[in-house]
Each structure stands twice: as structure tokens, then as C-alpha cells.
Structure 1
Amino acid sequence: MYRLVFTQVLSRLDAEAVHHLTIRLLRLLGMFPPLVRLLHRLLAPRAESLRVQAFGVHFASPFGLAAGFDKDAGCAEPLSALGFGYVEVGTITAHAQPGNPRPRLFRLPESRAIINRMGFNNAGAAAAAKRLRRVRHIPAVVGVNIGKTKVVPESEAVRDYVDSARRLAPLADYLVVNVSSPNTPGLRDLQAVDRLRPLLSAVKEAAGRTPLLVKIAPDLADEDVDAVAELAAELGLAGVIATNTTISREGVASTEAGGLSGRPLKARSLEVLRRLRQKAGDRLTLVSVGGVEDVDDVWERLLAGATLVQGYTGLIYEGPLWPSRINRQLARRLRRHGYGSVREIVGRTA
């Protein structure tokens, strides 16, 4: 049914307008806790085999929603009720900013992909912190993804990230430093190890006991992926999220500027995951994202060494029942192969 609605109606409307309408509907749903609890009872992962622990946090399922959908931390609870094992909100910046000019979000249905150049549009860390303080009516693991405010010069980037971390880390189950979006000028330069070290060190101190991860780009050279893995392990980070969107246009017809997500990113995201696992072993928790469309992709990422897996573009093309369906299929596959827990398959082909 959703695919028919998407093809006949949603795909004909402006992509960002549909996204904002979806967010408003989810926020409206969040105003009725009994409905959220009902959805959670119907759709949330229940199978004991799906439960996993990473960096001291318990997840009902290894499959979660990547950052970029709930940019302002306004609907993490309703999204969790749809069946995601966890929801990563953001990217949130220390100061409010409007993002880049519209249009800035483009669907590529023939490639099962999306291009966005949103530019970290959000209401800022203070507004997000206010929303994250709300009482949760269902169990929900919420990660917070932080980035650099666009108008802040690169020389002050560390302070900008630290400001966000101090506000948001106490309210997050885990914190993510995003240095890999292609839509903020100069941001990806911070992935260079000599610049990344002081940034991560400062944010880790500001985060306190909250687990800290770093999110990297798929466009990094292999040797730079290795260097980031070594740095993250050396600094005692909780893990690495691989990968963000790509600036490559291989396999798609569009030349729109921005970050490409979805199916075309699948192969490179898996390559980076395998390289991180080879380099870091089990010293870091690896979170795989990029081109995850179905249970086969989730299964492959787990086997390759990811403890957690994220999706986003698949939600756009598959609809609100997508996370619940993947969880059911994953639990069935575990049973069929004789595994009692998802933990038993992590890294088996690494």
C-alpha cells in the first residue's frame, strides 16, 4: 500500500515539503502517549535474540534510524515506536541555522537514492536539549549527532562542538561527532587526523561518561580510514559510524550538488566497514550505515563486523512499517540458522 501511495502521490510532491509534513505528523502523534504506547506494543522489536549491548547501552534491536531524519530531536519517541531499535537525532549545531537555500532535497527513485544539501538546518543545541528533557513514555535509545555551526570559523570549531556536547551529552544515550557531511564548507577537512585529534579529545572530555563516536565519510582514502580507526581506538572512543553520504555520482544520472545516500552507497559503505573491522578488530563498536535497504543488507553488515546498523533512505521508499518488518525478518533468519542471539553473528565473516 505504501509503495502505491509513494508512487502515485508522494513522489509527485516536493521532497522537503513531504519530509516536513511527516515530521509534523510524528510530533502530533507524540502528543498522545497512549497512541505511542500502542504503536510500540504493535511494532517494537520483541525477540530476545535481537537484543544487543554496545558501549554500555542496551538496544532492543541492532537496527536503528540514522541521523538526518529527525534533525531537531522532535520525534524520537514516535520513531522508536515504529520499531527502530534506536534513533539518532541531528545533526544538531551549537547555534540555530536555516541551512542551505532550497531546493535542497532530491529523490532519485530509479536509483533508490536521495541527494541532500540541507546544510544542518536546525534550531540549535539549546532547543534540542529542551526537547530531549521531555519524559519518555516508551523505552527509547536516543543518540545525538552534533556538527559545526556554519558561520563559526574553522579555527573555533573545537569550541563550537564542545558547546553542543556540554548541552546535549547528559541527555543522550550516546554522542556522535559529525565531521563528514559534504554540505558544510570545510567540515570534511576536520577528518584529517592532525585536526581530528584535538577535536575528539576536547569533545570526549566534555561528554563525560556519555559514549562518544565519530562519523566518517565514504570518500576517505583507505589509509585515512585506517588512521581514523587508530585514532579513535587510541583516544578511547566508543566507536565509529561508517559512513555518511558521498559526493560521488557513480551509478546515478543526477549532477545535483550535495550528499548522495541510498543504494549507490552500498558497496563503498561495506568496504569501509570491512576495513575498519580489519584495522580495529573489537577495540571499537562499528555502526554501519549507507545503502541499507532490507534484511539481507542488515545481515551482511552484522557478519562483516558491525554491532549496530542504521538506515534512512529505505524509510523514504519503504514506509513506516519498514523497521518493524526488518526486525521480524532478522529474528526469523537467526532462528533458521540456529543462532540464539544477534551477537553470535557479529564479525563472523570479518
Structure 2
Amino acid sequence: MYRFVFTQLLSRIDPEDAHHLTVGALRLLSVTPVVKRLVHRRLAPRDPALRVQAFGVHFPGPFGLAAGFDKDAGCVEAMSALGFSHVEVGTITAHAQPGNARPRLFRLVKDRAIINRMGFNNAGASAAARALSRPRGVPAVVGVNIGKTKVVPEAEAVHDYVAGAKELAPLADYLVVNVSSPNTPGLRNLQAVELLRPLLQGVKEVADSTPRRTPLLVKIAPDLADDDVDAVADLALELGLDGIIATNTTISREGVSSTEPGGLSGRPLKARSLEVLRRLRARVGDRLVLVSVGGVENVDDVWERLLAGATLVQGYSALIYEGPLWAHRIHRGLSRRLRRHGVRDLREIIGRTAT
């Protein structure tokens, strides 16, 4: 049914307009208590074998929604009700900003991919904090992804990230420092260890000072050289971070025909994202929580990432092509596969094929 709707309707609408329509519908679901609870009861993961604990947080399943979809924390309850085990909101900047000029979102239907150059368009940390402070009618695990305000110079990046963290860390189940989007000028420079260290130290100080101590992760790009992946992993261990999210979108256009500038996500990112995950697992073992994102489309992809050492897996781009039941189908497929393999606890398979 959804594929018919996508082909006949959604694919004919400007991608960003279609996104706004979808978010509007999800916001409506979020404020409709009875429907929201019924949907959650039907679609949210409930199999005890799927439960995961990571950095002290309990997740009802391993598969969550990556940052980029819910930029202003308005759809947390709806996406949790639809079956995502966690929802990572953002990227949120300390100050509101409109993002880059339109058009800035492009579907590559044949490639099962998306190109975006949104530029962290969001209403700012204060608005997101108000949204996250509202009572919830269904359980939800919420990660908050923070980034640099575009007009803030690189020399003031630490202060900018810290300002966002102060607003949002107390409201997050975990906090993510995003230094890997290709759509904010100079942002990826912050992945260099000499610049990343003071930034992470500043944000970690804030995260550690919240009443429950908010776990802190860093999100990296797939375009980092292998030596730089190792360097970030070593820094994360040195500073006592809780995990790494790998990976963000890529500036590579390998395997696709489009030369549109921006970050590419979806199927073409699959191989490199998995490669970075395996490299990180070899480097850090189980000392850090690894969250794998990039090119995840189905239960086979999620299973492969778990075997390779990811504790949690995220997706976003395939949601556009698979529809609202996507997360539910993946968790249902994982439950069946665990039973088929005689596994009673998901933790038994995490890292099984890692070398």
C-alpha cells in the first residue's frame, strides 16, 4: 500500500514539502492520546529478547531513528509509537537558523538514496528544550544531536556547543556531538583531534554535571581516512566518552549518477558505513558503545551490523522508501531470527563476527 502511495503521490511532491506534510501528520498523532497509545501497543518492540542496555539506558530494541528526520523534537512520541526503539532528534544548534537555500533535499529513487544540504535548519536549543520538556503519553528513549550554529566562527565552536548542551543535556537520554555534517562550512574540520579534544571536553563537562549524568557520543563522517577513524576512537577512549555513532552522510558520489552537492545517504553508503564500524570495533572492542548508521534498509542489514559489533543501529533514508511500518517490520524480523537461531538475548550476537 505504502509503495503505491509513494509512487503515485509522494514521489511527485517536492521532497522537502513531502517531509513537512509527513511531520505535520506525525505531530497530529503525537497529540492524539488514544490513537498514539493504540499504535504504540501494536507496533512498538515488546520481545524481551530484543532489549538492549547501552551506557546505562534501557532500549526496547536495537533499531532507532537517526538524526535528521525530527529536527525540532516534535515527533518523538509518534516515531516511538511506530516502532523505533529510540529517536535521535536534531541536529539542533544553540541558536535558531533557517539552513541553506532551497532546493536542498533530493531523492535518488533508483539508487535508494537521498542527497541533502539542509544546513542544520532548526528552531534552536530553547525551542527543542520546550518540546522535550512536555509530558509523554508513550515511553520514548530520546537522543539529542547537537551541532554548530553556522554564523559562529570555528574559534568559538566550543562555546557554541556548550551552550546547546546546557539547554538540552538534562532532557536527553544521551547526547551526540555532531562534527560530521558536510553542509555547515568548516564543521568537518572539527573532527581533527587537536580541535575535537577541547570541544568534547567542554560538552562532556556539561553532560557529566546533569542530575543523571547524560551519556555522551560523537558522530563521525564516513569520509575520514582510516587513520583518522582510529585517532577519534582513541580520543573517545581517552576522554571517557560513552560511544561513537558511525556514520554521517558522505560527500562521495561513488555509485550514483547525481553530482548535486550535499550529503549522500542511503544504499550507496552501506559498504563504507559497515567498514568503519568494523574498524572501530577492532580498535575499541566493547569498551565503547558503537551505533551504526548508513545504508541500513532491512533486517539483514541490522543483523549484520549487530554481528559486526554495533550495540544499536539507526536508519532514516530507507524510511522514505519503506514507509511508516519499517521499524516495526525490522524488529519483528529480528525476533524471528533470534528464535530461529535459538538466541534468547540479543547481547549474545553483538560482535560475534568481529575480528
Q: If the TM-score is normalised by the length of the shorter chain, which range does it land in? A: over 0.9
Superposed displacement of residue 207, structure 1: 1.2
**Partner residue in 1 for 2:260:** 256
- The TM-score normalised by the length of structure 2 is 0.98
**Partner residue in 2 for 1:170:** 170
Secondary structure of the residue that 1:199 maps to in structure 2? helix
**Partner residue in 2 for 1:93:** 93
Could you list the per-position Cα deviations for residues 214-266 of structure 1 after superposition, in whole angstroms to 9, with x for gaps in the alignment? 00000000000000000001101010000000000000000000000000000
**Partner residue in 1 for 2:161:** 161
**Partner residue in 2 for 1:25:** 25
Partners of 1:342 and 1:119 lie apart in 2 by 36
Could you list the per-position Cα deviations for residues 96-149 of structure 1 after superposition, in whole angstroms to 9, with x for gaps in the alignment? 000000000000010000000000000000000000000011110000000000
Partners of 1:23 and 1:6 lie apart in 2 by 15
Secondary structure of the residue that 1:335 maps to in structure 2? helix
**Partner residue in 2 for 1:55:** 55
- The TM-score normalised by the length of structure 1 is 1.00
Secondary structure of the residue that 1:175 maps to in structure 2? strand
Gaps of 5+ in 2: none
Could you list the per-position Cα deviations for residues 68-117 of structure 1 after superposition, in whole angstroms to 9, with x for gaps in the alignment? 00000011111100000000000000000000000000000100000000
Residue in structure 2 matching 1:232, options 232, 236, 242: 236
Residue in structure 2 matching 1:310, options 307, 310, 314: 314
In the alignment, structure 1 residue 328 sits paired with structure 2 residue 332: yes
Partners of 2:304 and 2:31 lie apart in 1 by 37
**Code of the aligned partner of 2:294:** G
In the alignment, structure 1 residue 267 sits paired with structure 2 residue 285: no
In the alignment, structure 1 residue 210 sits paired with structure 2 residue 218: no
**Partner residue in 2 for 1:16:** 16
Superposed displacement of residue 34, structure 1: 1.2
Secondary structure of the residue that 1:132 maps to in structure 2? helix
**Partner residue in 2 for 1:180:** 180
**Partner residue in 2 for 1:345:** 349
**Partner residue in 2 for 1:107:** 107
Task: Map 1:123-138; keep pairs closer than 5 Å.
Answer: 123-138=123-138
Secondary structure of the residue that 1:61 maps to in structure 2? coil
Partners of 2:28 and 2:138 lie apart in 1 by 16
Aligned residues: 350
**Code of the aligned partner of 2:329:** R
Partners of 2:285 and 2:195 lie apart in 1 by 24
Superposed displacement of residue 44, structure 1: 0.3
**Partner residue in 2 for 1:290:** 294
Partners of 1:8 and 1:32 lie apart in 2 by 28
Partners of 2:122 and 2:243 lie apart in 1 by 25
Task: Map 1:35-74; keep pairs closer than 5 Å.
Answer: 35-74=35-74
Partners of 1:203 and 1:30 lie apart in 2 by 30
Superposed displacement of residue 16, structure 1: 0.2
Partners of 2:122 and 2:343 lie apart in 1 by 42
Superposed displacement of residue 8, structure 1: 1.4
Residue in structure 1 matching 2:245, options 232, 241, 245: 241
Secondary structure of the residue that 1:102 maps to in structure 2? coil
Superposed displacement of residue 9, structure 1: 1.2
Gaps of 5+ in 1: none
